[in-house]
Amino acid sequence: MSLEFPDGFMWGASTAAHQIEGHQRNNWSPEWEQSQVEQLVATARQRLHDVVPDYAAIQAEAEQPANYLSGAGTDHYNRYATDIKLAADELNLNALRVSVEWARIEPDSGQFDQAALAHYRDVVAQMREHNIEPHIMLHHFTNPQWFDDIGWHDKRAPELFARYAQQVQSALPDVRYWLTINEPGSYLIMRYGGARGGWPAWPKSEDNFWRGHQCTNNFIAAHKAVYADFKSRDDQLQISLTQMEIAYENHAGPLGALYKKVLDYYPNHYIWNRINDHQDFIGLQHYLQMDIRRTGLSPANWVQHVPDGEHSDMGWSIRPELLGKVAADVYRRYRKPIIINEHGIADAQDQYRKQFLHDSLKSLRLAIDQGADVRGYLHWSLLDNYEWSEGWWPKFGLIAIDRTSPEFTRSVKDSARYYAKIVAANAVLPLED
């Protein structure tokens, strides 16, 4: 197997606005996050003890109220030039995926903030200055509060989203790679699937399958509307959305096999099947494998994290060989170029990430050898960031952030130095001691 990647391969990292920018005013922050702090602190031990292999190592953070507030973030909104320069000079990256914050751009319905658009225009300009290809995500989980009051299940949602997207593309005309919606399946489950206390969710009386199905179909309609509009402006633009593909392994017999098909199909393949003529590549995200084991009458409890082997800080099994398998399976099904948009590991001690990168990228290179058209790898994440309902304690970043320092000091991790060498060589390199 060749360890070299094809010429022109994109090497990068991904971020999301709410997770790093700081001082957001959207449906998460600050009011909703503050409303959740007491409950999340009180239940931290119960929620995390059986999931996180070494809960004691994260206990100090996980049981602190500040852990659950995005607050000042990593001050990326003010320090984006520094972060982009680090990505280029220290990590050799030639691509970055960033999201723009809808609530900053359209704080009130139909009112577009030109200063916010100018800010993101400068973010793109900084990337261009450092020979980094921008990949722009239009929606990464958060909404302006006025839109959240309407909801993605509302029939107006696709048109409102397309109106916002049009303003962003007009402000960033030299961006080639666009992602409309990040992980619509995750949004569906967390907002409409009954997850309480972790994400903003609809009132229980309004939380049902039909509203969730409307949400999914509106994601599809919104994506198609944006695709058609952007292509009418410039048919060279490359447009997709991102989906998280979990690898499931069945240990529950025929019923488990049926359940696996449902988990595989809805919502990921349900969406992919309906947009495949409206995407130029597939934005693929992968983090973990889960087992299906029959533990009772209800399938709701059948999906479990894989119990054996090494685990990340999130309690997810470390299975780097699955990245190539997932990519090959998705390519075989849809025959569209793939860009890995997120793939990473929570590893506060930076003890697994180097080996994880090495083994994951070997598996991805094998998938390319076997015919998968994979054109880029964007690691999650560039910076240690705010991880939604978990808060700040999971450390996915290539760059560590000291949020206690006035300067929000950045430190490039040892594993990131290894990744930088891979990028420079455009090949998987042997591990060093």
DSSP output for 302-345: -EEE--SS-B-TTS-B--TTHHHHHHHHHHHHH---EEEEE---
Segment 18-40 mean pLDDT: 96
pLDDT at 267 over 90: no
Confidence of residue 195 (pLDDT cuts 50, 70, 90): low
Query: What average pLDDT does range 424-429 have in this prediction?
Result: 98
What CA dihedral angle connects 357, 359, 364 and 368, to 10 degrees?
A: 130
Q: What is the arithmetic mean of pLDDT over 279-290? A: 96
Q: State the DSSP H helix or E strand holding residue 35, giving kind and residue range, or none if neither.
A: helix 31-48
Average pLDDT, integer, range 219-237? 98
Q: Quick check: 318 pLDDT over 70? A: yes
pTM higher than 0.85: yes
Taking residues 266-283, report their average pLDDT: 96
Please report the pLDDT score of residue 13 as a whole number.
99
For 122-170, what is each residue's pLDDT tens digit? 999 999 999 999 999 999 999 999 999 999 999 999 999 999 999 999 9
Name the percent of the chain lying above pLDDT 70: 97
The span from the CA of 26 to the CA of 30, in Å, is 8
Identify residue 167 by its one-letter amino acid code.
Q
Instruction: Determine phi and psi for 380, rounding to 5 degrees.
Output: -100, 115
CA distance 142 to 102: 8
Mean pLDDT in the chain?
94
For position 209, what pLDDT does the model report? 80
Q: What are 144's two structure tokens?
A: 């302006």
Which amino acid makes up residue 329?
D
Per-residue pLDDT at 78: 98
Tell me how far apart the alpha carbons of residues 287 and 119 are, in angstroms, rounded to a whole number: 31
CATH number assigned to the domain covering 10-425: 3.20.20.80
Length of the chain: 433
* pLDDT attached to residue 422: 98
Say what the pLDDT of residue 207 is: 65
**pLDDT at residue 196 above 70?**
no
What DSSP designation does 391 have? T
- Ranges of each domain in the chain: 10-425
Q: Which residues pair with 400 in a beta bridge?
A: 411
What is the mean pLDDT of the segment spanning 365-391?
97
Least confident of 8-17, 39-48, 110-119, 205-214: 205-214
Q: 296 falls in which pLDDT band (50, 70, 90)? A: confident
